[in-house]
Amino acid sequence: MPSLPETGAARVTERVVDVAVGVVIRADGAVLLGQRVAGKPYAGWWEFPGGKVEAGESIEQALARELHEELGLDVERSTPWPVRTFVYPHATVRLHFRRVWHWRGEPTARERQAFVWCRPDLIDVAPLLPATVPVLAWLRLPPTYAISAAESLGEARFLAALERALADGLRLLQLREKTLPPDRFESLFYQVRSRCAEHGARLLVNSDHPPSYWHAADGVHLTSAALAGLAERPPLPLVAASCHHADDVARAGRLGADFAVLGPVLPTPSHPGAAPLGWDGFVAAAADAAMPVFALGGLVSTDLADAIDRGAHGIALRSGAWGD
């Protein structure tokens, strides 16, 4: 059996092969996995479909060509996602993942490969190529990441808004209430955690709050200052990071963060002195991110599709999450 690849930077003398990878997402959330055929490295292993980028092609064009040649699918809409480098014994590859949302045709095994539709939380094929495994975790991240607003709304009003949001499908929340007195924050934390648990939502606690809360929740959301001061990932199930520029995004990737939040994209009343990135700045800073990136700052729920088209995993909302 071939040895497993390593992630990270390519060797200095190694030629890096750019590969377009398609995460084809069906309306019910299932994704398409294919099995590598005999005669190829890692024959029998399962992966997302795709192939090498040819001279003169964009990543989008290469993926459309590969999915047509391999599976008979004609891609109508795909959007950028993370970029990861893997060092295999036979090659170093830079995998450019794209989510494929719309296509024409039904998958056909044009190369006589096996393929299956699987839910990301219920994969029943093996072995999976290592590059495939983190993608399954990315797929379990919802498109909206909410940030609490108890300080501005008041605890009672915020908890009522949280109940409504959870009932409407909110599944990822950051608790960030830096000015609440410790006793009030503690009370709020346990009420929020209980409500999130009832709905199957994951709860992160901002790193400005004591680490005991991180460990009592699902993980931590690192401020950009905390991110800059860490040499290794905190030992928690879920780690996120706030980023303001490309260097932050790269640092979060090296740390092994599960996702990042990048902004502000647009002007925000809460940070009137902060210069917004704008969408062009967001695209530039998030390019080649090694993990999913949420767009933050001045956004509302109707900005979601535009954010995804620009390479965001989704959007992070504070006031916009609570109808305020």
Answer with the residue of higher pLDDT: 145 or 90: 145
Answer with the residue of higher pLDDT: 12 or 286: 286
Tens digit of each residue's pLDDT (9 = 90 or more) over 109-138: 998 899 999 999 999 999 999 999 999 999
Closest CA to 45 of 102, 84, 92, 88: 88
pLDDT for the residue numbered 139: 98
Mean predicted lDDT score pLDDT of the chain: 94
pLDDT for the residue numbered 323: 84
Percent of the chain with pLDDT over 70: 94
- Inform me whether the pLDDT recorded for 9 exceeds 80: no
Tens digit of each residue's pLDDT (9 = 90 or more) over 182-198: 999 999 999 999 999 99
Write down how long the chain is: 324
Please name the amino acid found at residue 104. Answer: R
* Three-class secondary structure of residue 222 per DSSP: strand
Tens digit of each residue's pLDDT (9 = 90 or more) over 283-317: 999 999 999 999 999 999 999 999 999 999 999 99
pLDDT for the residue numbered 268: 84
In sequence order, what are the beta bridge partners of 175?
Answer: 205
What are the tokens at 58? Answer: 């964009």
* Three-class secondary structure of residue 47 per DSSP: strand
Alpha carbon distance 189, 183 (integer Å): 10
Span 137-152, average pLDDT = 97
Span 264-273, average pLDDT = 81
What are the tokens at 294? Answer: 């949420």
Please name the amino acid found at residue 269. Answer: P
Q: Cβ(162)–Cβ(172) under 8 Å?
A: no
Q: pLDDT tier at 150 (50, 70, 90 boundaries)?
A: very high
Q: Cβ(124)–Cβ(43) under 8 Å?
A: no
Label the pairing between strands 92-104 and 74-87.
antiparallel
> Distance of CA 52 to CAs 48, 130, 280, Å?
13, 18, 27
Alpha carbon distance 285, 253 (integer Å): 13
- Inform me whether the pLDDT recorded for 12 exceeds 50: no
Q: Cβ(310)–Cβ(295) under 8 Å?
A: yes
Answer with the residue of higher pLDDT: 99 or 4: 99
274 contact partners, CB below 8 Å, separation of at least 6: 264, 268, 297
Span 232-249, average pLDDT = 98
What are the tokens at 97? Answer: 């993942």
Q: pLDDT tier at 90 (50, 70, 90 boundaries)?
A: confident
Label the pairing between strands 219-222 and 238-243.
parallel
241 contact partners, CB below 8 Å, separation of at least 6: 221, 222, 224, 227, 248, 251, 252, 255, 257, 259, 260, 261
Q: pLDDT tier at 1 (50, 70, 90 boundaries)?
A: very low
Percent of the chain with pLDDT over 90: 88
- Inform me whether the pLDDT recorded for 3 exceeds 60: no
Residue listed under structure tokens 């503690």: 186
Span 8-35, average pLDDT = 86
Burial of 137 (0-12, 13-18, 19+ CB in 10 A): middle
Q: Cβ(226)–Cβ(246) under 8 Å?
A: no
Instruction: Quote the radius of gyration of the chain (alpha carbons, Å).
Output: 21
If residue 252 lies in a helix (H) or strand (E), which one and from where to where? helix 246-255
Closest CA to 67 of 26, 112, 114, 105: 105
Q: pLDDT tier at 324 (50, 70, 90 boundaries)?
A: low
Structure pTM?
0.94
Span 225-246, average pLDDT = 98
pLDDT for the residue numbered 7: 61
What are the tokens at 258? Answer: 């599960």
Alpha carbon distance 295, 20 (integer Å): 23
